[in-house]
Amino acid sequence: MPSDSKKPAMNIEIKVIPNARKRAIARTQAGIVVRLTALPLEGKANEELIRYLSDIFKVRRSTIRILRGEKDRRKVLEIPIDEKELKTLLGEPV
């Protein structure tokens, strides 16, 4: 994976929908919505969220931090990515 220790990090608000049939990510006017297959028990959904976002954004798992919402569906995460990369990967809000 690429080195991301020098990248400035963005705080991104994410709405998590656990226990979905399949994983998916979408950018809407309200923000980013992530569907996860894990149940929201014992941090399993948070683990899957970090693993999934690290794959999508091509960053190390250790560089993604949950700043707020550890036990809530609305979370604020710190991810080493800039707005340009976010637009490239997820497109404009729908």
Residue 57 sits in a domain whose CATH number is 3.30.1200.10
Number of domains observed in the structure of the chain = 1
| Closest C-alpha to 88, from 61, 62, 56 | 56
Q: Is residue 92 part of a domain?
A: no
Q: Which domain holds residue 34?
A: 10-84
One digit per residue, the tens of pLDDT, for the chain of length 94 reads 454 456 788 999 999 999 999 999 998 888 899 999 999 999 999 999 999 999 999 999 999 999 999 999 999 999 999 888 888 888 877 6
0.85 exceeded by pTM = yes
Q: Is residue 15 part of a domain?
A: yes
Q: Is residue 63 part of a domain?
A: yes
Q: Is residue 89 part of a domain?
A: no
Q: Is residue 3 part of a domain?
A: no
Q: Is residue 2 part of a domain?
A: no
Q: Is residue 90 part of a domain?
A: no
**13 by DSSP, 3-state: which?**
strand
Q: How far apart are CA 73 and CA 18, in angstroms?
A: 8
pLDDT for 25: 95
pLDDT for 5: 53
The type of residue at 53 is: L
